[in-house]
Amino acid sequence: VVGPFEDNLQATTRAIAEREKISNIIICPSNPMVRNLKQQWAFNIAQSDIIVSQKLVDLSLARKYKKALVFPAAHPLALSLADYYKKFGEEKGMKVIISQETHKPTDIDMTPQLTKLKPIIEKEKVDVFYASTAGPPGPIVCKNLRALGVKIPILGTHAFGFGFIIALGGEAMEGVEFPSAKPVVFDQLDENDPVKPVNIDFDKRWKERYGTPSDQIAGYGYDTIGLIEDALKRVKGKVTRSSLRDAFENTKGVKGTHGIYEFSPTEHDGLSKKDLVFVRIEGGKFKRIKFPGLE
């Protein structure tokens, strides 16, 4: 079973996978409510909120941010990203303030909440604003914040790496930085990065079939098929639910669009922090940025 993508549906599919003893490949494995369950049948192909938060702290330290204000969406993933950013940031000497104000995924104007946060930004002399959110609320937050005259840098989540984010936010997105999946800037990866040719080939074929550029979600679909194919080839004898699960648990060095996948009986997260890059929105485009020692 592949999916779901939506974070709040994972608990159900994971439970069914455990009950029926059938492998379940999860696209967006960031639900803190299910992370500590000892599951044998669910495999995660995207980085968790823990890894993404660690990468964002790396970016913050590289930019020498000392004090951050986090404005999270009111759903488990965004709140967990905020909590882990605070945890890892403060372990590194930052001061991280998580706003009591939140927003819903359906909000179309966050000016009332941000108006309340503006005095905090000024009083605390905040260095950077972290919009812990996804989808349309991301660019809306950026536009509302800039309209209020707040000029400090803005950080986003890994969910900011879609073209519609720039289209919705326009000039307000200029300078926003975030940890990103490699497909977002695949053409800017190092020449010796083993996933660069995978992305170039996939994007070419995707454009030929659909007439649009590929993106990171399409990349997850491609990687999922590759992982299933690899596991099936390694099954010895008859393919059963158990033999396929065992093959997944012995995945080593599978090259996908997002990175190099590896699973083990004790580690069902396929990607790591090294499979993320830093991205800045500049000139209405995604631009990879690099910091010595952090990639």
**pLDDT, mean of residues 162-177:** 97
What pLDDT score was predicted for residue 220? 94
Sign of the dihedral defined by the CA atoms of residues 29, 33, 36, 40, in that order:
negative
Does residue 190 fall inside a structural domain? Answer: no
Written as six digits, the tokens of 183 are 């497909």
- Judge if 94 and 231 occupy the same domain: no
Percent of the chain with pLDDT over 70: 95
Structural domain boundaries, residue 258: 7-48+195-274
Sheet harboring 276-282: ordered strands across?
A: 95-98, 67-72, 128-132, 154-155, 177-181, 276-282, 285-289
What pLDDT score was predicted for residue 253? 96
Location of structure tokens 């002399």: 125
User: 21: helix, coil or strand?
Assistant: coil
What pLDDT score was predicted for residue 7? 66
Does residue 136 fall inside a structural domain? Answer: yes
Does residue 18 fall inside a structural domain? Answer: yes
More confident residue, 32 or 42: 42
Does residue 250 fall inside a structural domain? Answer: yes
What pLDDT score was predicted for residue 31? 59
Does residue 34 fall inside a structural domain? Answer: yes
Residue 194 and residue 255 in contact, taking contact as beta carbons nearer than 8 Å: yes
Is it the case that residue 11 has pLDDT exceeding 80?
A: no
- Judge if 80 and 93 occupy the same domain: yes
- Judge if 152 and 283 occupy the same domain: yes
Does residue 295 fall inside a structural domain? Answer: no
Listed range (76-85, 185-194, 203-212) with the worst mean pLDDT: 76-85
What pLDDT score was predicted for residue 29? 59
CATH assignment at residue 17: 3.40.50.2300
Q: How many structural domains comprise the chain?
A: 2
**pLDDT, mean of residues 261-283:** 94
> What would you measure as the largest C-alpha separation in the chain, in angstroms?
67
Query: Across the chain, what does the average pLDDT equal?
Result: 93
Residue 256 and residue 226 in contact, taking contact as beta carbons nearer than 8 Å: yes
- Judge if 93 and 56 occupy the same domain: yes
What pLDDT score was predicted for residue 147? 98
- Judge if 35 and 76 occupy the same domain: no
- Judge if 61 and 175 occupy the same domain: yes
Report cis status (omega within 30 of 0) of the bond before 4: yes
What pLDDT score was predicted for residue 36? 63
Is it the case that residue 1 has pLDDT exceeding 90?
A: no
- Judge if 121 and 204 occupy the same domain: no
Alpha helices (H) along the chain: 10-20, 49-62, 76-91, 111-124, 137-147, 163-169, 196-210, 216-234, 241-248
Does residue 189 fall inside a structural domain? Answer: no
- Judge if 178 and 67 occupy the same domain: yes
- Judge if 24 and 145 occupy the same domain: no
In this predicted model, what pLDDT tens digit does every residue of 76-97 receive, in sequence order? 889 999 999 999 999 999 999 9
- Judge if 56 and 143 occupy the same domain: yes
What pLDDT score was predicted for residue 176? 98
What pLDDT score was predicted for residue 77? 85
> How many residues would you count in the chain?
295
DSSP β-bridge partners for residue 42: 24
Written as six digits, the tokens of 143 are 């536009």
- Judge if 176 and 90 occupy the same domain: yes
**Which of the four pLDDT bands, split at 50, 70 and 90, describes residue 175?**
very high
Is it the case that residue 118 has pLDDT exceeding 70?
A: yes
- 183: nearest Cα among 165, 174, 192, 195: 195
- Judge if 207 and 118 occupy the same domain: no
Strand 67-72 to strand 128-132: parallel, antiparallel, or no bridges (unpaired)? parallel
Residue at 92: amino acid letter: K
CA distance 158 to 270: 17
Percent of the chain with pLDDT over 90: 82
What pLDDT score was predicted for residue 214? 94
Is it the case that residue 30 has pLDDT exceeding 70?
A: no
Is it the case that residue 251 has pLDDT exceeding 90?
A: yes
- Please tell me what DSSP assigns to residue 281: E
What pLDDT score was predicted for residue 35? 62
Does residue 188 fall inside a structural domain? Answer: no
